[in-house]
Amino acid sequence: MFTIEHEFDATIVTLVDDGELPLIEDITLSAFASCVTVEQFDERTQTMQKITLSMAQLRDLQAALDLPEGSYQFIDDT
């Protein structure tokens, strides 16, 4: 299950683990104009963990999901 909310400066997507037990904490993705943040509560340390991806890193991640094992680099043809 997931939710999508549109805020003033970001689109917020929350991924809810509704699979098999044990369940994992929700993941929140916040998409801003210049970056995307991924947050998840860490039950072990009782802290919110946050990762920030640049738009280039997000582009690379998207491409990596459909490619076989290897090393890749985008070349700007413009």
Per-residue confidence (pLDDT) for residue 75, from 0 to 100: 84
User: Domain span at residue 9?
Assistant: 2-64
pLDDT digits (tens, 9 = 90+) for 17-46: 998 898 999 999 999 999 999 999 999 999
Per-residue confidence (pLDDT) for residue 57, from 0 to 100: 94
Tell me how many domains the chain contains: 1
58-76 burial code (b ≥16 CB/10 A, e <16) = eeeeeeeeeeeeeeeeeee
Domain annotation covers residue 73: no
pLDDT digits (tens, 9 = 90+) for 52-75: 999 999 999 988 888 888 888 888
Domain annotation covers residue 49: yes
Domain annotation covers residue 9: yes
Average pLDDT, the chain: 92
